[in-house]
Structure 1
């Protein structure tokens, strides 16, 4: 099958101040040292990979005291030029939301809707414009509150399907599920409740199903333009599955950033006009 790419616009933030200074997910360990220079170099390779594929990448200025700001996907969720802002669960990250809000409010062409309940942006939301007329998938169970799903639906005018995450290792939707193109997904079923698995199987019968090893290697935490899937190294079985159904793959080493509990997608917010 010939896959057609769509040019995307992304938002990223350099990990100049990245470190594991606290523990807010099962992957973080403050006793494990982070090589800050290596983290910046790995992030830059990711950015250059996306630019090399023809995509536009905007950047936020990293802030001292916000070591997780590199995980830019968590700062908002954007559909049709409207950004539904984030409200972080943990106080260690709460100040990140202001930088994201300022980006949308100071750059022309974007609307911004301030949240009233906890949600962690594109970490727990995925949008598929060609699936069932345009569908938002939304995770809950560890970070984003279910009330945010209704708030996002009102803010963005797209139907929202709530999916319950049940494994703390997969604390955000974007480590358990990703959009491969505008109509299909890849996901790890065991990260979801039995009822949510049934919903996903009904909505996406042709989805790519990842195994536990690739899920725990952050293989699903990927970015795709509809043809080329950018994912981290160490997810070879998933990369092979994707190529078998017509996608191209580009693997990037993000081993330093994985120490914070994130990989490719966590570093990349999509700006959808």
Structure 2
């Protein structure tokens, strides 16, 4: 099923027994912020970006701390960055993986901006997944629809379903291509609110058990409400928490949810208690320098399935 009917999709999703063993990645990968800067091209449709001077050294130090932190939960690989691709610090938009019928796949996204299309052509990352890990290549970078992978598509791996926010960064053609590439049972398409660029800034599914979402990030808030009926534990974010990137979180294992420090500080006591009820500790890392580029912790982490 691929649909815009949120009620019908939620009814389907509630009938799927989650496979918790499939909910989290086996490992993760990152791309270092070498030559880090705020890219004006990306800023044309990313309101979260802070135009102006960025400190490359501070960004690199924060990124190293992130690598060390998530390595406590899963093996974490770091690829070098490049001054020619300043947004490469957010690799999950360009490279993603899946396991379909027992076979690993690496999916390459079709990026909207030219700088990110250069990133998609990186031979070293492609070779790592295909030559070293033996993943099959599914290259969407030249197909007609724009699809910025797990930036636009929030995947519940335990249920094999996805939530695709449509914007300039993803269209319906791209959503359909991603559903096939990731081997999903179903995808719910919905329009993001004006000013939003990626679904993973306004929602996250944590290990198939909990949902974090900002209803104001949806053009139609009834869609957010319908998605909320799928999960027992739902953390609803206020606008201030969304702006602090609290929706851009991830659980790379079953016990801990990772947020940037700014995002974690935006959570109130009730929201923290909801995450604890769902079985999650909160981990956090300072990423305010990297967040100047318009993304946060989840955007920095690619998953290896």
Q: Given the two structures, how large is their TM-score scaled by the length of structure 2?
A: 0.80
Contact 2:156 2:208 in 1 (8 A): yes
Taking the aligned partners of 1:21 and 1:201, their CA distance within structure 2 comes to: 34
Indicate how the Cα distance of structure 1 residues 83 and 139 shifts in structure 2: closer, same or farther if over 3 A, else same. Answer: farther
Alignment partner of 1:178 out of 204, 224, 243: 204
Aligned match of 1:105 in 124, 130, 133? 130
Aligned match for 2:109, one of 73, 86, 89: 86
- Structure 1 position 142, deviation (Å): 2.9
Residue 238 in structure 1 maps to residue 271 in structure 2: no
Counterpart-to-counterpart distance in 1, 2:206 and 2:179: 22
RMSD value, Cα: 2.2
* Residue among 85, 105, 110 paired with 1:66: 85
Give the aligned partner of residue 37 of structure 1: 57
Contact 1:77/1:125, CA 8 A, preserved across alignment: no
Give the distance between the partners of 1:238 and 1:74, measured in 2 at CA: 25
Q: Unpaired segments of 5 or more residues in structure 1? A: none
- CA-to-partner distance for each residue in 1:202-240, whole Å, 9 max, x for gaps? 333532111111110112111212321111122324264
Alignment of 1:1-273 (within 5 A): 8-22=26-40, 23-24=43-44, 25-30=46-51, 32-53=52-73, 55-80=74-99, 81-99=104-122, 100-115=125-140, 116=143, 117-131=145-159, 134-158=160-184, 159-168=186-195, 170-194=196-220, 195-204=222-231, 206-224=233-251, 225-235=253-263, 236-238=265-267, 240-245=269-274, 246=276, 247-272=280-305
CA shift for structure 1 position 193: 2.3
Aligned length: 265
Q: Helix, strand or coil: the match of 2:190?
A: strand
Q: Tell me the TM-score normalised to structure 1 length.
A: 0.89
CA shift digits 1:235-266 (9 cap, x unpaired): 32426445313121112111111111011011
- Off by >3 Å, runs of 4+ in structure 1: 3-8, 100-103, 239-243
Q: Displacement of 1:201 after TM fit?
A: 2.8
Counterpart of 1:68 in 2: which secondary structure?
helix
Change (3 A) 1:251 1:239: farther
